């Protein structure tokens, strides 16, 4: 019986009209929620998804940052909603999803982008610091997914987790020198976990037509120390850090029907850093 159902499904897919490329990327009517919404990378995701037609909801612990982001988008003629909430606060997350259910009725896209770290050497990092980084990245993303599922299961959806090149490879400590930043052991552990969290979810949620993928960015320029930037760029095949729109179209691609047969994938956006 199951085999017959699968065959009918395949025939239904084959008989559909082939959509135009621009229609595959159209997100009109979709509702997208982005964590870490006051941050640099979230701005790219929100901008791309909104330009593709999606309604945008941002959440972050930084309420002032969310209000500023809303003002920025308003100047571009885009209205975004936001909910201040900490990823470590189960009640705040539950209340946010209850509000989303009441105001939108469904959720189509969830981007688990929120995170934090401490630039503390391994020998000096405290138990509390390590635990906080893991809790924000992994437990926070788990709670977001768990609360999102009731809004996604009936009509399918997309979950995009944000990993890192340092969840894929060990850090080159030589590029940091005395820049005041380094690659945190807790951050590396959390981002490695995000990548396999993605694989698990993709396998578990496929039957509900919920696709789950991961984007692992490399370094993005944000006014870092000049010497650090020089060292970083010298190690990167494309010879630069990420810019203000290198993630914009990637988020749209994975959220759209252009990627409707892609799930469980980790996509590095790193200028070739992990190729070496």
CATH of the domain at 179: 3.40.50.720
270 occurs within a structural domain: no
12 occurs within a structural domain: no
Residue 9 has pLDDT above 70, yes or no: no
**Tokens in use for 43?**
């701005």
Q: Which of 25, 166, 187, 232 is catalytic?
A: 187
pLDDT at site 11: 64
Domain tally for the chain? 1
Q: Is 187 a catalytic residue?
A: yes
225 occurs within a structural domain: yes
pLDDT at site 2: 59
More confident residue, 142 or 183: 142
224 occurs within a structural domain: yes
pLDDT digit string (tens) for 51-72?
A: 999 999 999 999 999 999 999 9
pLDDT digit string (tens) for 102-141?
A: 999 999 999 999 999 998 889 999 999 999 999 999 999 9
75 occurs within a structural domain: yes
pLDDT confidence tier of residue 44, bands split at 50, 70 and 90: very high
Residue 234 CB neighbour total at 10 angstroms: 9
234 occurs within a structural domain: yes
The order of strands in the sheet holding 31-35 is: 81-84, 55-60, 31-35, 109-112, 157-162, 210-217, 266-269
Q: Which domain holds residue 96?
A: 26-262
154 occurs within a structural domain: yes
């Amino acid at each position: 019986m199951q085999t017959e159902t699968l065959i009918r499904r395949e025939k239904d897919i084959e008989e559909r009209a082939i959509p135009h490329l621009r229609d595959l990327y159209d997100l009109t009517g979709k509702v997208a929620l982005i964590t870490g919404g006051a941050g640099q990378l979230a701005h790219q995701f929100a901008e791309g998804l909104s330009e593709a037609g999606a309604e945008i909801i941002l959440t972050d612990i930084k309420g002032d940052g969310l209000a500023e982001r809303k003002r920025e988008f308003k100047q571009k003629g885009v209205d975004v909603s936001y909910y201040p909430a900490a990823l470590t606060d189960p009640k705040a997350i539950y209340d946010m999803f209850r509000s989303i259910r009441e105001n939108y009725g469904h959720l189509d896209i969830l981007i688990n982008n929120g995170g934090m770290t401490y630039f503390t050497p391994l020998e000096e990092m405290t138990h509390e610091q390590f635990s906080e980084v893991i809790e924000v990245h992994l437990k926070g993303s788990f709670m977001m997914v768990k609360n999102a599922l009731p809004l996604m299961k009936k009509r399918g959806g997309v979950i995009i987790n944000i990993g890192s090149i340092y969840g894929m490879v060990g850090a080159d400590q030589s590029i940091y020198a005395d820049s005041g930043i380094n690659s945190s052991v807790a951050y590396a552990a959390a981002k490695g976990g995000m990548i396999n969290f993605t694989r698990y979810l993709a396998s578990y949620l496929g039957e509900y037509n919920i696709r789950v993928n991961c984007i692992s960015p490399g370094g993005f320029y944000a006014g870092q120390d000049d010497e650090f930037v020089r060292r970083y760029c010298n190690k990167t095949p494309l010879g630069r850090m990420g810019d203000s729109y290198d993630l914009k179209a990637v988020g749209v691609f994975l959220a759209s029907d252009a990627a409707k047969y892609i799930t469980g994938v980790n996509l590095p956006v790193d200028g070739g850093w992990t190729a070496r």
